[in-house]
Structure 1
Amino acid sequence: MATAHDHHIHEGESLASAAQRAFERAGEQWTPMRAQIYAALSAADRPASAYDLAEAVSKSTGRRVAANSVYRILDVFVSKNLARRVESANAYIVNAHPDCQHDCIFLVCDACGRVNHVDDDSLSGAVRRSAEKAGFSQLRPVIEVRGCCADCADGDMA
């Protein structure tokens, strides 16, 4: 069974607004620091670590931001569906559709480091069912496929 609904992929200001609305609906406050961390994360063209984001926000604000503060914010973002953690990279990406809850399948390019995500409820559903049969509960499937993205593969062909 594929995704049961269509969802809107947000970009730019639309993404920031959708994230803020979803965050506030979840009972969280959209503070200036959270907004700055989110802006830095959404501007990243590949998964960003807490250290990457702390450095970016420190440069943009002119004041030092500690990575441990960024980790706490990222944990809240992940728990509220605003960001996803790419486990193998120990880094984060924004969720471009924060109003939808899906298990993401990450396609990680070993050449350039970019990550694309695919929503495939049939695959993640099968993983959930198998885990539940084995007695696991409160599941959060993490599926990462490593390889070479189309852009990098085209570069190899030249």
Structure 2
Amino acid sequence: MGIYPADIEHQAAAIIAAYRDLGWMLATAESCTGGLIAGALTEIAGSSAVVDRGFVTYTNQAKMDLIGVSATTLEVFGAVSKETALQMAHGALMRSDAEVAVAVTGIAGPGGGSVEKPVGLVHLALKTRSGLIDHREMRYGEIGRDQVRLATVETALEMLTAAVQAPA
């Protein structure tokens, strides 16, 4: 067993196999997970055939500089928003050789939440070059920082799996 729980490793291995079979590469853009999604995927031997790159964009400045999130989006909607997650996925896709990009931004806690954006709120977005767009707003609750981050990894892997299964 590696660094990640067995269910995450199994899911990551299935994604690596499915994407490799299709000849697809993927990219990640991560804020609250700090690279854990890319880490889970690269835990799998042979993942270099599938994982093109990962962007850890923890600050707003990094989101703007590395993956082109607009300052206006961040000012109007905030870093933890559907709009920011969608721009993160788009930016990661456009700045990579990937067919699919997944992005996450959220509040892992224990602090930093508000009534409108509580601890455990995470926005995930996925975009493909063929035009598929997926967004999920997850409210994991105050289950602890590590658990919010791992739950986010699981949801992101579910989205990457669904992208392979979607009709072309």
TM-based fold match above 0.5? no
TM-score bracket for the superposition, by shorter chain length: under 0.3
Q: Larger strand proportion, structure 1 or 2?
A: 2
TM-score normalised according to structure 2 size:
0.26
Higher CA-based Rg: 1
